[in-house]
């Protein structure tokens, strides 16, 4: 499942989100002035607070939509030490673990660093872990592991780079009820969501998929009742 992008598409997405964020900034400014007005009655204040919630949701939606575009040339690639990467990201991931959900981690000892864009990699892992935590039952478990992937991976080819000869697998598994077979092909589609919460935009997994493809990687999904596993496969060494 792939999200095809083009130069025109990326320019359009960045331009649209930039314009919308400017409008929303102005909106937030005037809305803040109204909320700070002590003369506003209680009923009007309740309405203003609901409007602000909607504006906040629109801002988050624009931020996620922008992530669907390819990054600019200023993207920074560097060596990523798997264990250090996971350790520094954990405090953020714990914020998604409500309802008693436990996050457990494992990283194969001595795993070699790999080259990647850490900013995009953080977004990928956060989106997948957030989705796993939401899918887990109360007091369930989300397991994150990093280890080498020894099998051949079919990923989108990038003409400017050598073919990968080694891969790193970042695996996220949850203990939820699983994904019905008829939904497996839909969950990576933009704006598709089975959740009814207003803050759920249906962009989390589609953003993760797009970023994984930008990094030259691939994603694998397996699901059955009681366990859903997402494997993020990233090139760790090239010929």
Q: Does the model's pTM come out above 0.85?
A: no
Cα three-residue angle 189-192-193, rounded to 5 degrees: 135
| Residue from 125, 133, 130 nearest 211 by CA | 125
What is the 8-class DSSP label of residue 182? G
How many residues does the structure list for the chain? 239
Is 168 within 8 Å of 234 (Cβ atoms)? yes
The domain limits of the chain are 7-66, 78-238
What is the 8-class DSSP label of residue 87? H
Architecture of the domain made up of 78-238: 2-Layer Sandwich (3.30)
In order along its 239 residues, the chain shows pLDDT tens digits of 444 444 545 656 667 777 787 888 888 888 888 888 888 888 998 988 888 888 888 877 777 676 666 555 556 888 999 999 999 999 999 999 999 999 999 999 888 888 889 988 998 999 999 999 999 999 999 999 999 988 778 765 554 455 667 899 999 999 999 999 888 888 888 777 776 565 566 677 888 888 898 888 999 999 999 999 999 999 886 54
């Amino acid at each position: 499942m792939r999200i095809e992008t083009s130069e025109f598409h990326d320019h359009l997405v960045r331009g649209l989100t930039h314009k919308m964020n400017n409008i929303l900034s102005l909106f937030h400014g005037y809305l803040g002035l109204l909320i700070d007005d002590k003369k506003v009655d209680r009923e009007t204040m309740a309405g203003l607070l609901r409007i602000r919630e909607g504006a906040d949701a629109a801002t988050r939606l624009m931020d996620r939509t922008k992530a669907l575009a390819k990054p600019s040339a200023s993207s920074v690639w560097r060596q990523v030490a798997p264990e250090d990467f996971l350790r520094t990201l954990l405090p953020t991931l714990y914020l998604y673990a409500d309802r008693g959900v436990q996050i457990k981690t494992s990283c194969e000892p001595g795993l070699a660093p790999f080259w990647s864009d850490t900013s995009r990699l953080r977004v990928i892992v956060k989106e997948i872990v957030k989705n796993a935590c939401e899918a887990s039952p109360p007091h369930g478990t989300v397991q994150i592991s990093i280890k080498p992937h020894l099998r051949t991976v079919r990923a989108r080819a990038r003409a400017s780079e050598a073919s990968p000869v080694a891969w790193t697998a970042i695996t996220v598994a949850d203990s939820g009820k699983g994904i019905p077979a008829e939904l497996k092909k839909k969950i990576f589609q933009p704006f598709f969501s089975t959740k009814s919460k207003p803050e759920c935009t249906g962009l989390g997994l589609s953003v993760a998929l797009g970023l994984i493809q930008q990094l030259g990687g691939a994603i694998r999904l397996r699901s059955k009742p009681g366990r859903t596993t997402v494997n993020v496969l990233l090139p760790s060494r090239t010929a």
